[in-house]
Amino acid sequence: MADLLDKENACGQSLLKLTSRGSAILAELQRLSSNIPKVFYEIQQQEGQQTGYGKILFDFEYLKNIDGYEDSIQTNMELVELDNSFRDTYIDLLERFYQLFESIYVYYLDITELLEQIFEGEFIQYTFDSLIQNEEGKKIVPELFYQYGVMLLLTDKLIPGPIRERIITSYIRYKNSVQEISNINDVCKLFKATGYLPASYTKSYEYRPQYYPEDYFSRFGFDESIMESIIDQVKDGDIYSSCAAYPSPQHRSVALSQQGSILYILLFFHPDILIEKKAKMREIVDKHFSDNWVITFYIGYYVDLTTDWKPYKAAKKAIDNTLDLDYIEELSQFHLKQLEDCYNKCQNFLIDGVLTEEYVLEKWKLLINTIRESNITVRWLMLHVNSDMKAVRDVVTNGLKKKDILSLLLITSKFESKLTEKLELLINQKNERWDKDKNECAFRMDQLADIFGGKMNLGKVEKNEGIQQWFEQLRDQIKNLTFGDITYTGGKINQFIKALEDMEQYLPVDIDHYIKHYLEDTRKDLRHMNKISSNITPNQLTHLSLICDLSYSWKCLPDYVELMQDKIKKYPQVALLLKSTFIKLSCILNTPMVRIVQAQSPDLQSVSKYYSQELINFVKSVLQIIPQQVFAILEDVIILLTEKMAKIPTKLNKNDLKNYTQYQERYDLANHSYRISLLTESILSMEKYLIGVIEINPKDILDEGIQKELIKLIQKILNRVLVFKKGTIQEFQEKLQILAKNLEGFKEAVVYIQDFISTYGVKIFHQQFDRLITNYIDMEQEAFIQNTFDIDFMFYEEDIPLPNVEKNKQYGSVNFMGRLLKQILNLTNGKNAVFIEQSLGFYEIGTGVEIITLKTMGLLYKCIGISGLSGLDQFLGFNISTTMRDIMKIYRKKVTKDGERYLRDSFQKLSDLTNSGAGFEKTIAELQKNFGGLIQSLVKPLQQIGHMILIRKLLCLQLQLMSKVGSKRLYLCLENLNNGIINDVTNRVYDQEMTEEDIQKENLLISEAAKLCSYIGMTDPEKKVYISDEHMEALPMLMFLVTTSTIPNMDLDKKINILIRRGQYNKPDQKKQSAANSNFQGFQPVYFMHGVLGFLNQFHPDNKDVYMGFLANQIKCLLNVNQMLLVQSNQEKDKKSQYQENVANIFLYITLFDSLLNVSGDSRNQQINAMVPIELINTCFSH
């Protein structure tokens, strides 16, 4: 009969594929469980009412009243937006979760189908009974059911019932139809909440309902007779042949621990054994759990049988027999004594020169026994300190320190590593060594034969042909020895040794010492051959690997991370010792990978990569203490360099040199440098090594850790300083100066230690600084889009330090970048500041104090760098785009279809009125009356757009300046590229025969060039396109109406020749403001003007011409009215004055607006002169 796992064996391959798929499902289960969105945990009941996500995330009650729940969402626009946002963010993740749940159910179906095939005789050579008696079958068949049980338990433990229901329900809702989802009814039945709640969910204690988990397992269970046969097979035998590695009866429970884990799971499929079968349970406990009650059931997930089996009578009675406190104390004291003894033995073996190859051959049993005892001791103590019962836990931990367990683990790992290295070397070279010894022995026999044959003259040795022949025969027999049959060869070698001893006795007493030496060396080499053949076999490596298994500790080890880090802090070289422990930990891949490798499953890469990455993450978490300590010391270095140590000038009088000695400070600096070098040396001295399937380069771990701590410290500095409580100009500038100084000192300190950490200080500083700024800007934008402060809805790199969102809410931002931008916007608000084009800056109204100028931008550059300035520019552009869309929303909301028709007709009518007159004025008046609400609602957003455009202009100027200074040639190259693209796009005739590939390449070039230009400020914020595919009826006319509504609130500042808000220089208690002015207290004409221009630039260029034409016509109308008032009585004097002011303001507005167009190369100066009668204006004002 072919081997069960042979590739041609259909039954075996079916079993293999199923078990390998089970391992892959368990890996995916663990992977997804660590990525459950926090919102599923944070749903809480508040006074009986669900709030927030609780109103869109439902349990299975939703399925009973789908329409009712959906109506409650659809009638609330806020919930609709929240629901859409949640769906867009998590639909892919929900899909993966459902696929996981369905794959577990399908795994169950495949097991039942395979059982049916076996019982129906589809696999002719196997029956169920013969299958579980087969050498491989008795392992793989129980594993099928074991894996399914582990899936159920881990699903309930890692993805609690309430969360499972919300995930499945959300998936059903977003798929819109239950019928379209495969196996949905059975998946819901299997994964309905069981009532079990893990401590991680309740945040306090584990809650286990009655009849759990047997009711859960019975939802889709198996025939009890099948389960009983499998349980009996596992219970009675040594299915994994582990006892060979643990020959002592005292170690039986450890030898059978893997079977014990399988039994623990299988018994839940047949709970009658747990409840009623006392004899069978006693047999199980005596064989598998006689001296241990805290066991692992899958890769480190442990359980205390004393509490877990408490609800089952037979199981409880059986396990209680092991819970006598005297017996527990005896076990504890035994392992406590073993802890010390094993540590001392390992320490002695690790002394240089002890663990030689000869010693390994000679003392192999002693060495392997020491390793066995050490691992058993570590295993028992590490697991049983987690006993659930306090009385038991107190007995176990009495006199025990966790650091002693860790010390034994570390030194045992080091000892195992060295012994394994020696053993592998011996195994790899044993044939060569054996042959060498054989040839040496044969050569000596040949030499002795020559001596006694008279061919070699050796002193008093007489010729003896009989002895000569005897040595020749022995030589031939030695040469005929083969390495194949160890038993036969070992017997022959022992005979040769005895014969040589007898020959030595037979030879004369005064025989030459040279012959005795030959005989002794030959016997020694023969014994060496025997040891090589009997002691050093591949099985020894297998047994050693089994004994050294550390997978049971995977969930316990996090409790020892702090202890490991404390050891590294005190003795940095401990990191070298930890390397052996990390390699030892890679055994966690054994359990899931065995069947995957045998089945040659395509899941091999993903599963091995998952577990390897988990191991590497653990290694990094332990070793992260080194970068943490480096940066803790670095803070002292920063203080020394920036505050205590005087900078030595380039030229110095020798008499002043003693003033710069600063002995204590320089000693402190040298001491800090030495401490840093000790810490980093412990990692840098390590060689590369494999953990799982991933190679670890210790240098890379150090670099990554340094970068992680560096970015944390940068974030800490920026977050601490960029808090503006007073909101004053002085505070803003002081904060920037402090931040610039802190960052400069920090950068200097990083550069100082770069040789000790073996990396480029300035390079990593700028890299991490840019990463932080970029991610924080992205966070702000995501928060702005989603209208939420929930970090779960934001995209950021894993190792980016997260901001304190709750603390930042009071500032209306997510992080310090948002706070900084809001402070800039607040300081330059139209109520407090005015922008002066000639000075390129914002100035405080009344005092003229600088607020934001190019000087401030230079200081800002020192604080947040190019990436920060570019990020602010990007975020402002994003805000401008949103504000423009808000204008379109306002328009659509307030203008009906009839309104659009009326706007079109009025626009056509105004366009036809080429001569100013009453018709123009009358039409304007009607429009202002009918659309007054719309007009007034557009003033504020247009001003906000202009405000942000002006700030962007300053940012772009600073970026251009720094780019030119930093890299003039690259700047000029990009400028030429940009000009070339613009000329090509605007002047050429497009070839209709261009292929799709050519078009894509061209678009890619334009896109990439645009990104680069934007990053260095080579862009005009006023001319950028922020919105597209938008339409607004009679746009120039609407902008004209909005503008004319603001004219009465404008005034001319003759000193600086700009339009300002009317009455903006008045004191707060001055009561001469008009009603119109009171509504425009934050209005700034300059902001508004830039906002109108930026908004018009989103549409066809002709709109600007029409807009200016309307303004020119308005001037003509006002001039005509003014002429009429000139011939009337003095009673109209005030009215005439008001008209004159309006004419002047509009004229100045249109002139300044044209100057903005002139700056951007779009001046309409000749058109303005043609439209506006300057002579008439002069005549008007002369009166």
Give the pLDDT confidence of 1005-1052 residue by residue, as tens digits.
888 888 888 888 888 899 888 988 667 777 888 888 898 888 888 888
77/980 Cα distance (integer angstroms): 49
- Tell me if 830 sits within 8 A of 1046, measured CB to CB: no
Strand 833-836 versus strand 841-844 pairing type:
antiparallel
Mean pLDDT of 156-181: 89
pLDDT of res. 1073: 46
Residue 261 pLDDT > 60, yes or no? yes
Residue 472 pLDDT > 70, yes or no? yes
Least confident of 78-82, 507-511, 767-771, 1150-1154: 507-511
pLDDT of res. 686: 81
Q: What is the largest distance, in Å, between two alpha-carbon atoms of the chain?
A: 162
- Whether residues 507 and 573 fall in one domain: no
At 264-276, the pLDDT tens digits run 999 999 999 999 9
Mean pLDDT of 316-341: 91
- Whether residues 533 and 631 fall in one domain: no
The torsion angle over the Cα atoms of residues 897, 899, 900 and 905, rounded to 10 degrees, is 130
The SS3 assignment for 302 reads strand
Least confident of 48-52, 428-432, 662-666, 1110-1114: 48-52
- Whether residues 7 and 55 fall in one domain: yes
- Whether residues 44 and 134 fall in one domain: yes
- Tell me if 262 sits within 8 A of 234, measured CB to CB: yes
Q: How many C-beta neighbours within 10 Å does residue 505 have? A: 8
Sign of the Cα torsion 851, 852, 855, 856 reads positive
- Percent of the chain residues topping a pLDDT of 90: 37
**Region of residue 660 (phi > 0: left; psi between -120 and 50: alpha; otherwise: beta):** alpha
At 1103-1118, the pLDDT tens digits run 888 888 888 877 777 6
pLDDT of res. 930: 85
Residue 919 or 147, more confident: 147
Mean pLDDT of 814-829: 91
Mean pLDDT of 218-238: 93
For tokens 């699903």, name the residue. 155
At 838-851, the pLDDT tens digits run 889 999 888 888 99
Do the domain assignments include residue 300? no
Share the mean pLDDT of the chain.
85
**Region of residue 652 (phi > 0: left; psi between -120 and 50: alpha; otherwise: beta):** beta
841/853 Cα distance (integer angstroms): 4
Tell me how many domains the chain contains. Answer: 3
- Whether residues 197 and 72 fall in one domain: yes
Q: How many CA atoms lie within 13 A of 958 on its CB side?
A: 28
1030/648 Cα distance (integer angstroms): 62
- 1166 pLDDT band (50/70/90 cuts)? low
Do the domain assignments include residue 611? yes
Structure tokens given for 740: 């610039």
Residue 1080 pLDDT > 70, yes or no? no
Residue 911 pLDDT > 80, yes or no? no
Q: Which of 156, 175, 203 is the last residue of a domain?
A: 203
- Whether residues 636 and 530 fall in one domain: no
Residue 291 pLDDT > 50, yes or no? yes
pLDDT of res. 450: 83
Structure tokens given for 986: 């605007």
Mean pLDDT of 698-716: 88
- Whether residues 562 and 679 fall in one domain: yes
Do the domain assignments include residue 551? no
- Whether residues 464 and 612 fall in one domain: no
Residue 928 pLDDT > 60, yes or no? yes
- 917 pLDDT band (50/70/90 cuts)? low
pLDDT of res. 1092: 92
At 27-38, the pLDDT tens digits run 999 999 999 988
- 973 pLDDT band (50/70/90 cuts)? very high
Least confident of 794-803, 878-887, 896-905, 958-967: 794-803
- Whether residues 589 and 449 fall in one domain: no
Q: Which of 203, 223, 252 is the last residue of a domain?
A: 203
pLDDT of res. 509: 55
pLDDT of res. 1072: 44
- Tell me if 260 sits within 8 A of 290, measured CB to CB: no
- Tell me if 412 sits within 8 A of 438, measured CB to CB: no
Structure tokens given for 849: 């104090």
pLDDT of res. 1134: 53
Residue 1131 pLDDT > 60, yes or no? no
Q: Which of 710, 744, 761 is the last residue of a domain?
A: 761
- 50 pLDDT band (50/70/90 cuts)? low
Q: How many C-beta neighbours within 10 Å does residue 329 have? A: 14
Residues facing residue 850 across a β-bridge = 843
Do the domain assignments include residue 378? no
Structure tokens given for 606: 């993903």
Residue 751 pLDDT > 60, yes or no? yes
Q: What are phi and psi of 842, to 5 degrees?
A: -100, 135
The torsion angle over the Cα atoms of residues 430, 432, 435 and 437, rounded to 10 degrees, is -70
Do the domain assignments include residue 293? no
* Secondary structure of 828-856 as H, E, C letters: CCCCCEEEEHHHCEEEECCCCCEEEEHHH
Mean pLDDT of 946-972: 92
pLDDT of res. 1048: 83
Burial class (CB in 10 A: 0-12, 13-18, 19+), 24: buried
pLDDT of res. 589: 86
254/252 Cα distance (integer angstroms): 5
pLDDT of res. 148: 97
696/687 Cα distance (integer angstroms): 9
- 1183 pLDDT band (50/70/90 cuts)? very low
Q: Which helix (H) or strand (E) holds 598?
A: helix 590-599
pLDDT of res. 459: 62
At 587-643, the pLDDT tens digits run 888 888 999 999 999 999 999 999 999 999 999 999 999 999 988 898 888 888 888
Do the domain assignments include residue 491? yes
Residue 234 pLDDT > 50, yes or no? yes
pLDDT of res. 51: 52
Mean pLDDT of 642-665: 83
pLDDT of res. 288: 93
Do the domain assignments include residue 408? no
| Domain limits for position 179 | 1-203
- Whether residues 28 and 113 fall in one domain: yes
1017/879 Cα distance (integer angstroms): 17
| Whole-structure pTM value | 0.82
Do the domain assignments include residue 478? yes
- 324 pLDDT band (50/70/90 cuts)? confident
Nearest one of 368, 369, 399, 402 to 383, comparing CA atoms: 402
Residue 1074 pLDDT > 50, yes or no? no
The SS3 assignment for 793 reads helix
Peptide bond into 213 cis (omega under 30): yes
- 735 pLDDT band (50/70/90 cuts)? very high
842/854 Cα distance (integer angstroms): 10
Q: How many C-beta neighbours within 10 Å does residue 42 have? A: 12
At 434-471, the pLDDT tens digits run 888 888 888 888 888 888 887 777 666 778 888 888 88
Mean pLDDT of 249-257: 92
Cα angle value 890/895/901 (rounded, 5°): 145
Burial class (CB in 10 A: 0-12, 13-18, 19+), 509: exposed
Nearest one of 371, 387, 412, 389 to 245, comparing CA atoms: 371
As a whole number of Å, the CA-based R_g of the chain is: 43
- Whether residues 536 and 585 fall in one domain: no
Beta strands in 277-328 (DSSP E): 294-298, 301-304
Q: What are phi and psi of 851, to 5 degrees?
A: -110, -70
Burial class (CB in 10 A: 0-12, 13-18, 19+), 1059: buried
At 548-601, the pLDDT tens digits run 999 999 999 999 999 999 999 888 888 888 888 998 988 888 888 999 999 999
Residue 714 or 925, more confident: 714
- Whether residues 176 and 59 fall in one domain: yes
Nearest one of 162, 196, 156, 134 to 3, comparing CA atoms: 134
- Tell me if 800 sits within 8 A of 775, measured CB to CB: yes
